[in-house]
Amino acid sequence: MKYEAVIGLEVHVQLKTKSKMFTRAPYYYGAPPNTLTDPVVLGLPGTLPVMNKEAVHKSAKVGLIFGSQIAEVCKWDRKNYFYPDSPKGYQISQFDQPICIGGAVEIELPGPSRNVMGEHRSVRLTRAHLEEDVGKLTHGLGESLVDFNRAGAPLLEIVTEPDMHTSEEAFAFLTSLRMHMVYAGISDCDMEKGQMRCDANVSIRPAGTMELGTKVEIKNLNTISGVRNGIDYEIKRQIRCIEEGEAIVQETRRWDAEKSRTTSMRSKEMSHDYRYFPDPDLMPVKLSKETVEGLRSELPEFPYDKQRRFLEQYSLPFTITSVLCPDRELSDYFEAAVAIYNNAKSIANLIANDLLRELAEAGSHGSLPLSECKVKPEHIAGLVKLIDEGIISKQIAQDVFIQMFKTGHAADVIVREQGLEQTSDTSELEALCRDIITNNPKPVEEFKGGNEKAINALKGQVMKRTQGKANPKVVDDVLKSLILN
């Protein structure tokens, strides 16, 4: 029997706001434990929550990006449970009136090769609701520690329909979600920093049937590889269960990355009763049409739309667009350079190859951010212009680029100061070519004998003697005419 897996994801995204969801206390990653708290975060008696408008606006933007319906009124509910990561004994969340309803995320599946765009399809969203994050527990030997820094940070929970069938699709979904969030400045979605966390619901059914099987929820998928491996493991485990005649029980399982397996956490019977009720301390939120339209007008062009435009407008190869477009700053940088000098292909190549290589080498933790790079779009444009005008060779341009990267000087300044202009002066090159022809009879004979490639050995000598400054086209012409006449 062949089986088909069915996957639905619940993704928590930490919103990028200065302060927490219901208080002024700031939140950012990496502060010493328990330094980002205040009486509201700690749930001390007498405190009252005050809603963070920016978090509500960012959440509504998420809905606008994915075509969800934005609730005209959404309310706040208390989700009650007692656990040491939650100082109040409840979490403020949205139960039956989430801020975003429906919508869909465009995803891209890998193509047949890296050079070809893969299939695009959409994964439907069920809803997205806003809530506050909880603290972080660290369990050690004989003691457990709690850090409330994260407690109260704004968290958007995005729930998908059971629309995916492979770990690859789940991965593509998370990739697309993250790309859109980062583009619109909603969240940095860095999984390593806990800014994007994912639970996966997995079931299997006989291939070709429609009815959903019993689902298992996998928690703790906090790395991209964890999502892939956890889902793949779970699909295999469920198929094995069914084939051995065991029933799948609805349960929550934990992904153990060290042991590469899922283990049972709790069954459906043991699931919490959260006793949701409306939070009496908070008013429902109304979002007017004007507010929503104002937020819509702030949205950037979306990455896949931009990629389709780049393919068409600039006729760039797919591989280059898939380097430029997922990164909003980089693609803006490219367009800024093209606006100054119109040679999209050469500019894109320089950015995708030379610039990214230098940024990667210059960074201490990952690449140097583009904002800290001394090479600005006008520098790239200037360099490409010098190549196109035949003032420097492509070979010299590589060195000039590295110098621009180090100094932030313009290409023409570097070229002028160091006398790097290529020599196209035929008479100057003729003397040199003549000399090289006399001293290298072997390749000359081979060329005369019909081996076209033999000329490259001579060209290489000329380039070497001129330190790369000779115009290769001119050298080619001069050599050929000297040998053949």
Q: Which amino acid is at 93?
A: S
3-state secondary structure 396-430: HHHHHHHHHHHHCCCHHHHHHHHCCCCECCHHHHH
| Identity of the residue, 167 or 203, whose beta carbon is nearer to ligand ADP in the bound complex | 203
| Identity of the residue, 127 or 385, whose beta carbon is nearer to ligand ADP in the bound complex | 127
Q: Which of 220, 152, 150, 265 is nearest to 10 (CA)?
A: 220
Q: Which amino acid is at 393?
A: S
From residue 203 to residue 222, the character string flagging contacts with ligand ADP as x (rule: CB under 6 A) and all else as - is x--------xx-x-------
245: left (phi over 0), alpha (psi -120 to 50) or beta: left
Q: Select the span of 24-32, 155-163, 272-280, 342-350 touching ligand ADP (CB under 6 A).
A: 155-163
Side by side, the strands of the sheet bearing 90-93 are: 90-93, 77-80, 277-278
Distance CA 349, CA 343 (A): 10
- Is 201 among the residues that bind ligand ADP (CB under 6 A)? yes
Count of all residues that appear for the chain in the document = 485
- Is 378 among the residues that bind ligand ADP (CB under 6 A)? no
CB of 269 to ligand ADP, least distance (A): 13
110 to 173, 303, 353: CA distances (angstroms): 12, 16, 22
Give the residue at shortest CB distance from ligand ADP: 8
Q: Which of 38, 54, 85, 161 forms a contact with ligand ADP (CB under 6 A)?
A: 161
CB of 68 to ligand ADP, least distance (A): 15
CB of 94 to ligand ADP, least distance (A): 14
Q: Cβ neighbours of residue 452 under 8 Å, at least 6 residues apart?
A: none
| Identity of the residue, 173 or 310, whose beta carbon is nearer to ligand ADP in the bound complex | 173
- Is 8 among the residues that bind ligand ADP (CB under 6 A)? yes
3-state class (DSSP) for residue 197: strand
| Identity of the residue, 50 or 248, whose beta carbon is nearer to ligand ADP in the bound complex | 248
CB of 200 to ligand ADP, least distance (A): 8
| Identity of the residue, 161 or 232, whose beta carbon is nearer to ligand ADP in the bound complex | 161
CB of 266 to ligand ADP, least distance (A): 12
- Is 160 among the residues that bind ligand ADP (CB under 6 A)? yes
φ, ψ at 120 (rounded to 5°): -105, 135
- Is 93 among the residues that bind ligand ADP (CB under 6 A)? no
Q: Helix, strand, coil proportions of the chain in percent (round to 5)?
A: 40, 20, 40
Q: Select the span of 51-59, 146-154, 196-204, 459-467 touching ligand ADP (CB under 6 A).
A: 196-204
CB of 220 to ligand ADP, least distance (A): 16
Interface positions with ligand ADP (CB under 6 A): 6-10, 159-162, 201-203, 212-213, 215
